[in-house]
Chains A and B, each alone.
Chain A
C-alpha cells in the first residue's frame, strides 16, 4: 500500500505556480520522496526526488519539511501540458515504486 496521502484533485491557472502537497508521516529514515506524473494514456514520467534537502531541477522544485513528514512539489509556471496525475511516492533504495491514487492536476487557460 502507498504510504502517502495526496488531495484527489487540484486546479491551477496557466502561468501560475502549482503547489502539490503530499503527506508521508510514516516515512523511514532511509526512504526518499519521489514525484512522478502520468499524462493521459502515457507511461509515468519521473519529475524529481529528494531525501531531506530541497531539490530543484528543470521541471520542478521539491520542498521537504524538516521533520520529513510532508513535502510539496512546485511547478513554477504551469502550462496546459502539465495537466496530469501527479504521484508522490516514498521509496527506499531501488525498490519498486508503489503508486497511490495521486493528485489530478488540471491547468486551466
Chain B
C-alpha cells in the first residue's frame, strides 16, 4: 500500500486556469506538508498542517490555497496558474509535531503551465 499518494502524477494546463492536486496518507499521521521543487531542483517548504490546522505558510502567494478536509488529506488548490508555477510538488507527512521522526514523501506531481 502506498503510504503517501498524490494525484495526478502529471498535470499540464494553460496559464490562468485553476487546478487542484490531491494528497492522501494512510499512515495515521497528524502532520502534513507541501513542498515545491523548481527547475533548479531546490526543494522548498510551502505549507505545514497539523491536525487539519495551518501551522506554516512560507510566503506562498495567495493563489495557492491548501485545504485539509481531515487529518489524512491535504489538497493544494492553485488559482490563476502562472508559468512560474511549473514545478514538481511533493506532499509529505510525519507522525506528530512534538516528536522527532522522519517524514514520508509522496511521489510528486509534475505541474507544467503552458
Contact = CB atoms under 8 A, between A and B. Distances in A.
Nearest to A99: B43
Interface residues of B, number: 28
A97 B45 CA distance: 7
Given A41-B108, A99-B43, A101-B42, A46 B103 contact: yes
Interface in B1-24: 4
Nearest to A85: B41
The residue in B90, B98, B105 that gathers the most chain A C-beta atoms within 10 A of its C-beta is B105
B102 A43 contact: no
Interface in B32-55: 33, 35, 41-45, 48
A62 to B, nearest CB: 13
Contacts of B104: 46
A43 B100 contact: no
Nearest to A32: B100
Contacts of B48: 96
Contacts of B92: 43-44, 97
A11 B92 CA distance: 29
A98 interface: yes
Contact of A49 (B56, B102, B106, B107): B102
Contacts of B96: 94
Given A38-B43, A94-B96, 8 more contacts: A43-B108, A46-B102, A46-B103, A46-B104, A94-B95, A94-B98, A94-B101, A99-B35
25 contacts: A43-B92, A43-B105, A43-B106, A43-B107, A43-B108, A44-B90, A44-B105, A45-B105, A46-B102, A46-B104, A49-B102, A85-B41, A87-B43, A93-B99, A93-B100, A94-B94, A96-B45, A96-B56, A97-B92, A98-B45, A99-B35, A99-B42, A99-B43, A101-B41, A101-B42
Interface of A: 32, 34, 38, 41-46, 49, 85, 87, 93-94, 96-99, 101
